[in-house]
Amino acid sequence: MKVVIEGAIVVACPRCARLGKPYVAPPSHRMRPRAPLAPYSARPTRSAPRETLEELEVVEDFSARIRKAREKIGLTQDDLAKRIKEKLSIIQKIESGKITPDMKLCRELEHSLRISLLAPRAEMPVSTTIGPSPGLTLGDVVKVKRKDQSEAP
């Protein structure tokens, strides 16, 4: 039995229920029943981004691009940090080139400064030739120390 005791709705036995008032549920404000939810997989999803993050990388001159765009807009490093909700020290390190921003931070900077920091990943050419390479190899550099068979006791 649900009762209200000192403002709290509790389930109580008949003996304890006489200490409170009977609970009356408030009237429902909904006029029509709610439609059941579709299964999770059937729900619409956001459209896939143009290029997935695995195919993108940060451009090499990101620090100069960020600094130029920030100065062009007339923001200080502190203002930019507040705008993208990041620490000032992180902005300073990014602009000096000491750290490379991650993909999430790049997206925030791109949106805030209206610049492009991510470019398609450049594929490295893979050599398909079989055989020794004309250059220096690890075997050419390493000196292998072996125990002489004659020194064995």
Domain boundaries, given as residue ranges, for the chain:
53-120
57 pairs with which residues across the strands?
119
The confidence score (pLDDT) of residue 31 equals: 59
d(CA 24, CA 31) in angstroms, rounded, equals: 19
Beta bridge partners of 78: none
Joined together, the tokens standing for residue 74 give 């007339």
* Residue 126, pLDDT score: 63
Instruction: Report the C-alpha gap between 106 and 100 in whole angstroms.
Output: 9
Question: Cα(first)–Cα(last) distance of the chain, in Å?
Answer: 92
Calculate the alpha carbon distances from 100 to 115, 131, 139 in Å.
16, 38, 35
Taking only the tens of pLDDT, the chain with its 153 residues reads 889 988 888 999 988 888 889 988 887 665 566 666 655 554 555 554 555 656 888 999 999 999 999 999 999 999 999 999 999 999 999 999 999 999 999 999 999 999 999 988 877 666 666 665 567 777 777 777 777 655 555
Closest Cα partner for 120 from 49, 47, 45? 49
Q: What is the pLDDT of residue 122?
A: 77
Q: Report domain 53-120's class.
A: mainly alpha
Q: How far is CA 106 from CA 57, 81, 96, 99, in A?
A: 10, 13, 15, 12
Rounded Cα distance, 123 and 112, in Å: 29
Confidence (pLDDT) at 30: 58
